[in-house]
Amino acid sequence: MAKISVTLQKIVYALVFCLLLPLLLQYWARHTSEVVRLPVPPYPLVGALLAAAGLSLILWAMHNLWYRGGGLPMNAFPPQHFVASGAYRLCRHPIYTGAVMLCTGTALYAQSPGGLWLVSPLFALLIVAYVVGFEREVMAKQFGARPMLHYGLFSLPPDNGHEAAFSRRLLLGLKVWLVWLLLYEAFVWLGVPPDAWYSNGAWDEVVPLWGFSVVFYVLLYPWAGLLPLWLRQNHQLRGFVLDVFYGIALIFYCYLIIPAAVRYGRLPENTLWLRWIALGREYDSAAAALPSFHVFWALLAARYSCLCRPQWRMVWALLAALVIISCLTTHNHTLTDVLAGMVAYWAIRYRQPIYRALLRVAEYIANSWHEWRFGRLWLINHGFYAALGGVCGFLVLAYLLPQYLWAVWLLGVAGFIGAGLWAQWVEGSSALLRPFGYYGSVFGIVLAGCLIAAGSDLGGWTLLGAAALAACPIQLFGRCRCLIQGCCHGIPTDMPGIRFFHDKSRVCKLAGWQGKNLHPTQFYSIAANFLSFFLLWRLYRLQMPASFIAGMYLILSGAFRFVEESLRGEPQTPYFLGMRVYQWLALASVLAGILFTCLPSAPLFSGSLPAGWPLHAIAYFVLIWCVYGLDYPNSTLRFSRLTQE
């Protein structure tokens, strides 16, 4: 009977990933192509070749798992033997890599804007979330540390001082530049967005145009392009590749959320140097400029050149300075672009100290529990953060629905009522007392939105789209409450984390992990909501449909929460079919989001805060602090207690 059950699970698994998932992606791409109205490069043959290469990689990897691993390509049912050869010699996840190539190539071949610009990137993001949030844990149970110690030809080298083979340096250099070039050219192809603003300032008007400086501008390409070949030690090569990919993530994220462009001036003379500048602009874009990648590459190349040839330190510094100056004197970048490029470089250069400093702030908040006692009533400080997030969300809703403050109030109240009822139903116990659950607030707001839409002239999608924008700041600041209370905490880790010491923290009371270094899952959620908010706000500024904004929120939230939930260590979290219940809910959130993005609706209203909004905001702030921070510890009434002695 157990054998039949496992066989049935494998059949269902195969049907989901080999049949239903491709059909879902095809449906998603077809129904969003009318919304994602972006130009597609007219290269269907390239798409066909990319899709064929992706399919070949998938089949090759499946063959390796079947014949060398003694099992099926199913991470929920891993093979008997770990496979590190064949397709797995190239990279750790050839099946997923091939799937992304197949999805992207098919979209390019079909000339599908939805498939190319929406489905393929989000499919890649969801795969990463699935690997980090589920597969990595399953593989570790089956094969121990071996999967993480496997280094393919295109994988990062180990962090040691051994010499890196020339072939590895060449392949990683090709990987770095190919990824950067494809993403950069994607932004070049899209051109200047309709909501662009120009970063040219008064200072840029007085910067001289020096045509000869284009020599230094162009010199960066061979300098940075050949740099990986100079990095002979593994730790140097690893550091360079990591810096590049973190820089790519940061700068391209800025391109997504900041619609900045450069207003190119007319080139006055027809000289060789100016023709060179004009030729470069034909293959570049005025949009992909802030922050300046040229500045980032110049500073990065100077740093790693100093590691290779420290005796030429002054030469590298001078060369980087000339490249940066040439960005201004060729009029290819503005001063704002250049300064932003410097900030981006320093953020990547010192990302670890910055991250540790942020964790120290999070740890300080986590151990800052304080209550004010007024007779039998206690007012706990963690309610302040819930109120701060609540009032930020309230103001976002009021900005988007200025004529419907009554609806804003109803959505806000429905959110915390749903959160309280959900937590009592899913997690309720005498030890937890009065918890609040995120998914309860989602269901409460959706239900309230439907009721409001049924009884007024407000559209349901308008309400849900506005609520999606408001949800990010609510969660962002609300997670600070989680830090103090100790809920939603992580599992022990050797990575940089945070420690909880206060006796009333749930980490100490329920999990018994006082003083242990834990994954800062609350901080992960803060970062995810921070990043998501600006993406959603950009969609709002582009006048995307409200249903699309609501769907994108559910997709991003579901993907991030799937990973976050895999790192949480609350002992009361229920499991179902090998995963935490909240991971299943995160998957449901993603599926609902996909459906929402396919449905038509009108864009959100143009925003403006209504008259009298400060009084409403203060009243809502006080209400939320009382709901989330007011405790009556000696009461026996339900929902009255947040703590117990």
What's the one-letter identity of residue 36? V
In this structure, the answer to whether residues 342 and 387 fall within a common structural domain is no
What pTM was computed for the model?
A: 0.92
Q: Is 250 found in the same domain as 134?
A: no
640 assigned to some structural domain: no
CB 602, CB 550: distance < 8 Å? no
Stretches where the chain sits below pLDDT 70 are: 1-4, 6, 72, 74-76, 149, 426-434, 572, 636, 638-641, 643-645
**pLDDT confidence of residue 432:** 46
**Separation between Cα atoms, residue 588 and residue 4, nearest integer Å:** 27
Question: Do 599 and 464 sit in the same domain of this protein?
Answer: yes
User: Do residues 388 and 317 both lie within one domain?
Assistant: no
Q: Which of 320, 349, 378 is the last residue of a domain?
A: 349
> What residues pair up with 380 in beta bridges, in sequence order?
371
pLDDT of residue 619: 96
CA 79/CA 86 separation, integer angstroms: 15
Please state the domain count of the chain. 3
Same-domain status, 93 and 173: no
Q: What is the pLDDT of residue 161?
A: 84
Angle in degrees, CA 149, 565, 557, rounded to 5: 110
Q: Is residue 641 part of a domain?
A: no
Are 175 and 316 in a shared domain? yes
Instruction: Work out the angle between the directed axes of helices 405-426 and 382-400 (0-180°, nearest 10).
Output: 140
Yes or no: say if 163 and 237 are a contact pair by the CB < 8 Å rule. no
**DSSP one-letter code for 520:** -
CB-CB neighbours of 92 under 10 Å: 18
> Do 371 and 302 belong together in one domain?
no
Whose tokens are 């000869």? That residue is 212
Whether the CB-CB separation of 143 and 81 falls below 8 Å is answered with no
* Same domain for 139 and 175: no
Are residues 327 and 400 located together in one domain of the fold? no
Does residue 485 fall inside a structural domain?
yes
Alpha-carbon span 323 to 409, nearest angstrom: 54
Kindly state whether residue 639 falls inside one of the protein's structural domains. Answer: no
Is residue 161 in some structural domain?
no
Q: Which domain holds residue 131?
A: 2-149
Residues with Cβ within 8 Å of 353's Cβ and at least 6 positions away in sequence, in order, are none
Q: Which of 149, 178, 204 is the last residue of a domain?
A: 149
- 462 with 500, same domain? yes
636 by DSSP, 3-state: which?
Answer: coil
Q: What is the spatial distance between Cα 362 and Cα 354, in angstroms, rounded to a whole number?
A: 12
Residue 356 corresponds to which tokens in the numbers above? Answer: 């540790």
Q: Which of 293, 317, 349 lies at the terminal end of a domain, its last residue? A: 349
Report the alpha-carbon distance of residue 474 to residue 341 in Å, rounded. 31
Whether 16 is covered by a domain: the verdict is yes
CA distances from 618 to 184, 388, 612, 613, 624 (A): 45, 10, 11, 9, 10
pLDDT at 479: 95
Same domain, 83 and 201: no
Q: Which residues contact 161 (CB under 8 A, 6 or more apart)?
A: 233, 234, 235
Euclidean distance between CA atoms 43 and 56, whole angstroms: 20
pLDDT (tens digit per residue) in 203-251: 999 999 999 999 999 999 999 999 999 999 999 999 999 999 999 999 9
User: Is residue 255 a part of any domain in this protein?
Assistant: yes
Q: In the Cβ-directed half-sphere of 47, how many Cα atoms lie within 13 Å?
A: 19
> Is 46 part of any domain?
yes
Please indicate, yes or no, whether residues 363 and 417 belong to a single structural domain of this protein. yes
